[in-house]
Structure 1
Amino acid sequence: MTAHPADPSPGRGQQEEAIAFLGDPRTHGGRAVERIDTHAALVFLVGDRALKLKRAVRYPYLDYSTVEKRHTACAAELAINRRTAPALYRGMVAIRRGNDGSLRLEDGDGAGEAPREAAGEAVDWLVSMARFPDEALFDRMAERRALTPDLMRRLAERIAAFHREADPRPDGGGLAAMRTVADGNFQDLRAMPDMFPADVVARLAERTGNALDRLAPLLEERRRTGFVRHGHGDLHLRNIVLLDGEPTLFDAIEFDEALAVADVFYDLAFLLMDLDHRGLRPLGNVVLNRYLEETGDYGGLAALPLFLSLRAAVRAKVSAAALRLGGKAEGLAEEARHYLDHALAALDRVPARLLAVGGLSGTGKTRLALGIAPGLGPAPGAVVLRSDVLRKRLCGVADTDRLPADGYAPAVTERVYAELCRRAAAVLAAGHAVVIDAVSARPDERRRIEAVAAAAGTRFDGIWMEAPLAERVERVTNRRNDASDATADVVERQESYDLGTIGWTRLDSGRVAAEVLDDARASLA
C-alpha cells in the first residue's frame, strides 16, 4: 500500500453530506445524537445503538478511501468481532440516496449480513452496534481506578481462551511480519520530524533492529509451532468493555489481516503496554501472570520487550495521526512523544533474577510475592510461580477446588517442586525475572530452587516469612476463594517440621503488610 503521510484524508469531502445526515436528529426520528471521533472512524450514538462510519482516509496501514473499501471493511468488522462480542455487533446499515436526491438509512440491523440490494445508490456503509455506557470502557475504568486485580485476572482468562480458539496461521506472523511492523513505524515516525526528534527515532530504529536480529530464531520457531494466530490486533483498554459483568473484547482489526495475524504475545503486549503507560504496571503484572497460568507459554517472554516497544511506537504514530485530524494539539502531541519514549525504554536490558519467598502456611508468602513482582525485572514485572496453583493444575482441578489428602503425597510434592524449577529455568532463560512462592520447608527444596539461579548464572534472593502461630491460624481460617488448602490443623502440624538451617533473609510478617513489603524491597535493593 502506498504511503500518503501528508494527505491522510483523500476522500474527506465525499463524506461531509453523510456525516451531517447522521448527526441530524431528524434522521433518527428526533432522537438525540452524540458523536465520537477517532482517527479512523466516527461513531454516532443514538438510543440503544451506535452507528460506526469509517472515515474516508488512507494511511500506510489502512485504506478506507472508497465506498467499496469501506463496505468490505464493515463486513469484515462484523465477522471478526463476533468471535469475541457477538451480542455487541448487530449488522450493517447502508446510507442510500433516494430518487429525490435525499439520503436515507436502509437498516439491516441484526440480520448478520449486508442489507439487501435496493433502489438507490449506496453512499456509504455503517456498522451497527449495541450501545453501552462509556463508563464501561476499560480505559474509562482505568482513569477512575476502577480496574481491580480480580477483573484483570478474568480478562486474562478471556484473552487466553480467545487465543486458544483462534486459528493458527503459520503462513503469517514471524520475523517478516515484525520487521514489516517496525519498518512501517519508522517510516511514519520519520515523516513527522516536528513531532518526533530524528535522533530518538534513529536510536529506537537501531535498537529495534538489533532485537529483531537477536530474536529471529525464536520468532520463526513460534510461527512454525502454532503461536502465530488470527488474534485481535488492537487489544488496548479502549477496545475492552465490561458487558453484563464480564470483560469483552471488541473493535478488533479488520482492515489488514496481516496486522491481526501475529504472535499471541504480540497481541497481548498491546494491553500490557497500555497498562504500563498509564502507570498501572501492577495490573499488567496480574494480567501477565494469569495469562501464563492459563497458557504455560513462558517461551514468549523473551520477545515481550520487543513487542511492548513496537506497540508503543504504533501508539505514538496513531496519536500523531489523530492530532493531524484536528485533535487536542497539546494533549495529543505530549502523548505521542511519551509513547516514543516508552518504546525506547521498553528495550532497556534488565537482568533476569530469581526470588524465592518461603515460609509456613499463613505467613503471607503470596501477598508478598504478588506485591513485589511488579518491581522486578522487565515490564510488567516478574513471573510469579505459586506452588498452590501449580499443584491444582497438575492434579487437573480448578484453583479453588480442594484436593484430597493424596494430592499432598510426597510424590506429588516432588512433582510440584520439579515443575516449579523447570518453569523458573524457562523464565530465566527468556531473560525475565521470576518469583517462586512455595513453603520450601525442607532444606533440599530450598537448595533445589537456589540451584536454578546458579545454573542460569543469575542473581538469587531468598526471603523466609515468619509469623506467630496464632496469627497464621487466623489467616488460613479467614481465607476465601484461594488456591491454598491449608487449614488450622495443617498450620499446627507444621510446628513440628524440622526446617534445618535457613540462610534466606528472615522477615517478620506478623505486621502491617505494607511494612513487610517495604522491608522486603529494601532487602532486595
Structure 2
Amino acid sequence: MDEKIVKKLKNPSSFPYETKTVDFIETHISWIYLAGNYVYKIKKPVKFSFLDFSTIEKRKFYCEEEVRLNKRLCREMYLGVVPIVERSGEYYFEGEGVPIEYAVKMRRMPEERRMNHLLEKNEVGIADVEKIALTVAKFHEIATVIRDPAYGSPELIKEQIDDIKNHRATIEKACKMGKVVDYTLKKCDDFFKKGILLMLTRQRNGMIRDCHGDLHAANVFLGKKICIFDCVEFNKEFRYIDTASDIAFMAMDLDAYGREDLSKAFVKRYIQLTGDRKLLLILDYYKCYRANVRAKVAAIEYAEKPSEDSRRRIEKYCALMERYAGML
C-alpha cells in the first residue's frame, strides 16, 4: 500500500459510517486511523530482524493473530480483521470492492483512561495496580505453557541483553553513559553465570508461557474493567517468555514514572495471588533487561533522528539499568 492510498484513507468518506474527523498516527510498523468510535490499524509492508510484514498474506495473518491474542485480555476492544477495498479508483475501509489490504478494527477506548496519562496526573493508586496484578495473575494461570527449550532460555535473554553493545556509541554520544552500559553488562553477565540454574529450573517448571510481552502503562486502560491491549503478535520470542519478565516490565515502568510504591504493591499482590515467591530472585535481572530494551529503542530513535525526548529516555532508562544492575 503506497503513500497515496495512505493519504486517501484519511478522508472521512473512507469509513463505513458517518464521521467528521479522522485522527492519524504513524509508527515504524503501523498506520493507525482513529475515526469516531472506531480505530483501524494497518500493518506497514516492512521487514526487520524481529518482524516480517513484507507480503499481504503475512500482514493479514498477523492482523488475525493480533485480534486472537489480544482478545485474551481485552475482548471488547478487538472487533476483527477487515479488508481495505478499492472501488472506482477510491479506497474504503470495509464494504464491497477489491481487497487491497487488511486492517485490525478496534473499538475506540477513552484516551483519558490510559494508564500512562493517569500516572502523569498522579491518578493511579495501589488499588488500581492490585487489580492489574489480579488480571495478569489470572491470565498467566491459563496461558499456554511453552515447552520448546528455545523460548525463554537463559542464553536467549543474555543475547538480547548483550545486544545493547551495538548501541553503546549512540548512548555515549547522547548522554555520556557508555560506561553505564559496560557496568550493567558486566553485572548481568555475572548474574547469568550464577543464576542460570534458577532460570533453567523455572523453564522446566513451566514458567515460560504465552504471555503478553509488552506489559507497560501505555498498554493499559483503567476503567470499570482493566483492559490490557497491544500484546506482541509479530514475534514469539518476545511473547513466549518467563511470567517474571511480564511482571518485571510493568514494575520497571512504574519505577520509571517515579512510583516505586506502586511497583512494589503490584509485585507483592501478584506474588500473593500466584505463590511465585521465587520470582523475587530474578526480578531485578528482568527489570534490568526491560530497562535495557527501552534504552536501546530510544538509542535507535536518537541515531535515526536526534531529539531531546529520545536523549532523555536514553538517560532515564540507562539510570534504571544501572540501579537494577547494582542489586544483582
Give the match for residue 268 of structure 2.
Answer: 289
Give 1:232-311 correspondences, 5 Å limit: 232-243=212-223, 245-311=224-290
Aligned partners of 2:79 and 2:168: how far apart in 1? Answer: 37
2:38 equivalent to 1:49: yes
Q: Which residue of 2 aligns with 1:469?
A: none
1:24 to 11, 14, 28: 11
Kindly provide the CA deviation profile for residues 134-182 of structure 1, in whole angstroms up to 9, marking residues without a partner as x.
1111111111111111111111111111110101112121313312322
- From 94, 114, 123, the equivalent of 1:106 is 94
1:193 Cα deviation from its structure 2 partner: 5.5
Deviation track 1:109-149 (CA, whole Å, cap 9, x = no partner) reads: xxxxxxxxx86352x32111110111111111111111111
CA displacement at 1:325 relative to structure 2 = 6.8
Aligned to 1:128: 105
Name 1:205's counterpart in structure 2.
Answer: 185
Question: Which residue does 1:167 correspond to in 2?
Answer: 144
Contact between 1:39 and 1:318, CA under 8 Å: does it hold in 2? no
State the Cα distance separating 1:191 from its structure 2 match: 6.7
- Secondary structure of 2:282's partner? helix
**Paired AA for residue 20 in structure 2:** R
Matched, 1:151 2:128: yes
Q: What is the distance in 1 between the residues matched to 2:82 and 2:302?
A: 29
Count the aligned residue pairs: 323
In structure 2, relative to structure 1, the CA distance for the partners of 1:207 and 1:64 (3 Å cut) is: farther
1:318 corresponds to: 297
Matched, 1:339 2:317: yes
Name the counterpart of 1:70. Answer: 59
TM-score norm. by structure 1 comes to 0.58
Q: CA shift at 1:292, angstroms?
A: 0.8
Alpha-carbon distance between aligned partners in 2 of 1:235 and 1:49, rounded to the nearest angstrom: 23
- Quick one: which of 204, 207, 218 aligns to 1:227? 207
Structure 1: how far apart are the matches of 2:48 and 2:322? 24
Identity of matched residues, %: 27
Q: Match of 2:219, as an amino acid?
A: N
Displacement after TM superposition at 1:81 (Å):
0.5
Q: Which amino acid aligns with 1:264?
A: T
The 2-side partners of 1:34 and 1:323 are apart by: 26
The CA deviation at 1:190 is 5.5
- Per-residue deviation, 1:334: 1.0
Unmatched segments (≥5 aa) in structure 2: none
Select 1:93's aligned residue among 73, 82, 87. 82
Letter in structure 2 aligned against 1:62: L
Structure with higher helix content: 2
Of 195, 209, 215, the residue aligned with 1:215 is 195
The residue that corresponds to 1:452 in the other structure is none
CA distance in 1, matches of 2:26, 2:304: 10
Q: Is the 8 A contact 2:74 2:229 kept in 1?
A: yes
SS of the residue 1:259 aligns to: helix
Cα 1:341/1:127, change in 2 over 3 Å: same
> Any idea what SS the aligned residue of 1:316 has?
helix
CA distance in 1, matches of 2:142, 2:167: 34
AA of the residue aligned to 1:347: A
After superposition, the Cα gap between the structure-2 partners of 1:65 and 1:330, relative to the gap in structure 1 and judged at 3 Å, is farther
Q: Distance in 2 between matches of 1:165 and 1:215?
A: 27
Contact 1:39 1:322 in 2 (8 A): no
**CA shift in 2, pair 1:324/1:21, >3 Å:** farther
Aligned partners of 2:9 and 2:174: how far apart in 1? 34
Name the aligned partner's letter for residue 292 of structure 2.
A
Q: Could you tell me which amino acid in structure 2 is paired with residue 311 of structure 1? A: R
Residues 202-261 of structure 1: CA deviation (Å, up to 9, x unaligned)? 333222222222210000000000111110000000111124x12221111001011111
Q: Is the 8 A contact 1:74 1:127 kept in 2?
A: yes
Distance 2:318 2:6 in 1: 33
CA contact (8 A) 1:60 1:184 kept: no
**Which deviations, in whole Å up to 9, do the C-alpha atoms of 1:333-353 show, x marking residues without a partner?**
211221122112211137xxx
Question: Shift of residue 192 of structure 1?
Answer: 6.3
| DSSP 3-state at the match of 1:255 | coil
The answer to whether structure 1 residue 36 and structure 2 residue 21 are counterparts is no
- 1:138 correspondence with 2:115: yes
CA pair 57-313 structure 1, distance change in 2 beyond 3 A? farther
Q: SS of 2:146's equivalent?
A: coil
Q: In 2, distance between residues paired with 1:69 and 1:183?
A: 30
TM-score scaled by length of structure 2: 0.90
CA contact (8 A) 1:15 1:56 kept: no
Retained in 1: the 8 A contact 2:171–2:314? no
Shift of 1:49: 0.7
Conserved? CA contact 2:40–2:105, under 8 Å: yes
Counterpart Cα distance in 2 of 1:229 and 1:101: 46
| Conserved? CA contact 2:19–2:36, under 8 Å | no
Cα shift readout 1:22-79 (whole Å, capped 9, x = no counterpart): 3222323452111233343232111111111223444432333443332222111011
Distance 2:36 2:230 in 1: 20
| Separation in 1, partners of 2:237, 2:301 | 22
Structure 1: distance between partners of 2:320 and 2:184: 10
Rg comparison, structure with higher value: 1
Give secondary structure in 2 for the equivalent of 1:251: coil
Q: Which amino acid aligns with 2:156?
A: A
- Between 1:181-190 and 1:124-133, the stretch displaced more is 181-190
